[in-house]
């Protein structure tokens, strides 16, 4: 990692919005880890469900973003954790993920309200289809068929759903040991 020169400030953190993964789900996902050459497993403490990646945002834009995100109003919901897949879905896999099965309509409402908030602030929104997932591993240099074998062995994976009662604005900074995530603010969903 390139360090700033004296007098220069460190690069701004990259921001993202996410749902945290509770400890029992983190443990269940960690049980999927196997020693497979070419698989780089996501550290369990960094597993989350990304709602929206924001990238580098000017510091002056963060407080208005936080203020508007406090107005997101979606009822808490149960989110399934099931099904494995890869990105890209065709060709050479680069990411292995666990999905949210049929999901929950409130998850998509949450994502839509976040997107509406970003657009109202004039921030860019990538309009690609939302595929909610938890990144398990990045894949590079694995033997042909290793990813397909892994997916086949765990084709029936599912763990108990978990209650989503909040979402987070998080910052990611690159460190020599890898990305370090921190919570900027947690936003509770509607109290029921």
pLDDT tops 50 at residue 3: no
How do residues 9-68 score in pLDDT, each as one tens digit? 556 679 999 999 999 999 999 999 999 999 999 999 899 999 999 998 888 899 999 999
- Which tops the pLDDT comparison, 39 or 177? 39
Strands 95-99, 166-175: pairing is: unpaired
pLDDT tops 80 at residue 172: yes
pLDDT tops 90 at residue 177: no
**What pLDDT score does 179 carry?**
79
Domain residue spans of the chain = 14-188
Backbone angles phi and psi of 95, in degrees to 5: -135, 135
- Report residue 2's pLDDT band, with 50, 70 and 90 as the boundaries: very low
Query: For the domain with range 14-188, which CATH number is right: 1.10.3720.10, 3.40.50.1220, 3.90.1140.10, 3.40.50.1970?
Result: 3.90.1140.10
Neighbours of 192 (CB within 10 A): 6
Q: What is the pTM of this model?
A: 0.88
47-57 CB burial, b ≥16 within 10 A, e <16: bbbebbebeeb
- Cα separation, 139 vs 135, in Å, equals 11
How do residues 118-160 score in pLDDT, each as one tens digit? 999 999 888 888 999 999 999 998 987 999 999 999 999 999 9
Strands 158-164, 39-41: pairing is: unpaired
Q: Taking the CA atoms of 135, 136, 142 and 145 in sequence, report the sign of the dihedral they define.
A: negative
pLDDT tops 60 at residue 5: no
* Three-class SS state of 23: helix
DSSP 80: E
**What pLDDT score does 4 carry?**
46
């Amino acid at each position: 990692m390139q360090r700033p020169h004296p007098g220069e400030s460190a690069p701004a953190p990259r921001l993202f919005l996410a749902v945290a993964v509770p400890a029992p789900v983190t443990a269940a996902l960690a049980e999927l880890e196997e020693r497979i050459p070419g698989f780089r497993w996501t550290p369990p403490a960094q597993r989350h469900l990304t709602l929206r990646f924001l990238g580098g945002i000017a510091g002056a834009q963060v407080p208005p973003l936080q203020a508007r995100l406090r107005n997101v109003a979606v009822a808490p919901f149960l989110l399934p954790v099931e099904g494995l897949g890869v990105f890209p879905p065709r060709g050479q896999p680069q990411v292995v993920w666990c999905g949210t099965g049929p999901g929950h309509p409130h998850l998509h409402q949450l994502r839509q309200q976040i997107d509406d908030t970003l657009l109202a602030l004039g921030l860019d929104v990538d309009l690609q289809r939302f595929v909610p997932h938890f990144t398990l591993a990045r894949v590079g240099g694995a033997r042909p068929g290793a990813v397909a074998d892994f997916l086949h062995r765990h084709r029936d994976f599912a763990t108990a759903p978990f209650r989503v009662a909040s979402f987070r604005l998080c910052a990611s900074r690159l460190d020599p040991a890898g990305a370090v995530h921190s919570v900027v603010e947690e936003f509770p969903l509607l109290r029921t």
